């Protein structure tokens, strides 16, 4: 039974990596957290959190399916009448034979798949969440972009880079549109974080990439979770349209 006073948070890509860390942290902060992922492992992940006393539910969903997204938000409204926090974290960066696809040879179907999940889904989720947040005069949207959306990253394909740059632009636009309703929209642009997605590639390449980080290590998922926790908390209401670069000092803007 969900506490009637609890705020509701929805996190996409929550079965592993950054989404796992973000969903766990928000649940620990007292949010009833809806953990969304196309990987059915999110169900067992949520059960583990529930066993530890956290208020979490799992939703298995393909974010490329816009109709399913609509049903998801409708279900949130019917069950809780509110949505306070949306974290658009889910993202894919498909490779071909373990390497990024060059723009010239990238299959167009792969381009469309990445666009659908990395950019169209956050757009659709955010605009459907907006009326629920506006009703209460309060809301927090956090979009997880990437350093690849800020600068050239040699391991990222054109599709991933374009969607992450687009997500930053989308965040700024929605921040301006939603601000008068008490809703903030911010972006986190992580650098190299210890997740399955970031560890794709040869050992030599990964070692070289980590050597470029001034603080001397890759980031941890819980550090991203802590940043999201701050951005959706009571002390961050004057922050909107911002991009937080969390990359150990690789880029300093």
pLDDT at 148 over 90: no
Q: Are 163 and 217 in contact (CB under 8 A)?
A: no
**Superfamily covering domain 8-246:** NAD(P)-binding Rossmann-like Domain (3.40.50.720)
Q: CA-to-CA distance for 4 and 137, rounded, in angstroms?
A: 18
More confident residue, 80 or 2: 80
Residue-wise pLDDT for 38-82, tens only, equals 999 999 999 999 999 999 999 999 999 999 999 999 999 999 999
pLDDT at 161 over 90: yes
What pLDDT is recorded for position 212? Answer: 85
Q: CA-to-CA distance for 177 and 179, rounded, in angstroms?
A: 6
The β-bridge partners of 96 are 99
Output the CA torsion sign for 149, 153, 155, 158: positive
pLDDT at 89 over 90: yes
Closest CA to 142 of 236, 45, 28: 236
Lowest mean pLDDT among 25-34, 78-87, 156-165: 156-165
Residue 243 banded pLDDT, cuts 50, 70, 90 = very high
What pLDDT is recorded for position 54? Answer: 97
Q: CA-to-CA distance for 239 and 126, rounded, in angstroms?
A: 18
152 is an active site residue? no
Q: What is the pTM assigned to this prediction? A: 0.93
What pLDDT is recorded for position 47? Answer: 97
Q: Which one of 20, 31, 160, 178 is the catalytic residue? A: 160
């Amino acid at each position: 039974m969900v506490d009637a006073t609890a705020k509701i948070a929805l996190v996409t890509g929550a079965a592993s990596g950054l989404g796992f860390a973000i969903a766990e942290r928000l649940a620990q902060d007292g949010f009833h957290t809806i953990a969304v992922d196309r990987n059915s492992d999110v169900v067992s992940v949520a059960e583990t959190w529930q066993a530890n006393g956290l208020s979490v539910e799992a939703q298995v969903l393909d974010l490329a399916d816009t109709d399913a997204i609509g049903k998801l938000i409708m279900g949130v409204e019917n069950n809780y009448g509110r949505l306070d926090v949306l974290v658009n974290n889910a993202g894919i960066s498909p490779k071909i034979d373990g390497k990024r696809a060059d723009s010239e040879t990238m299959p167009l179907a792969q381009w469309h798949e990445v666009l659908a999940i990395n950019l169209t889904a956050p757009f659709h989720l955010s605009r459907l969440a907006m009326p629920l947040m506006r009703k209460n005069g309060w809301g927090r949207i956090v979009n997880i972009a990437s350093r690849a959306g800020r600068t050239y990253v040699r391991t990222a394909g054109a599709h991933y880079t374009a969607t992450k740059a687009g997500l930053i632009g989308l965040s700024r636009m929605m921040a301006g549109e939603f601000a008068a309703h008490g809703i903030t929209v911010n972006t986190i642009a992580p650098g190299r974080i210890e997740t399955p997605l970031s560890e794709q590639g040869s050992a030599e390449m990964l070692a070289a990439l980590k050597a470029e980080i001034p603080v001397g290590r890759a980031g941890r998922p819980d550090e991203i979770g802590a940043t999201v926790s701050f951005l959706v908390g009571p002390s961050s209401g004057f922050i909107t349209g911002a991009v937080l670069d969390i990359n150990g000092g690789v880029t300093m803007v």
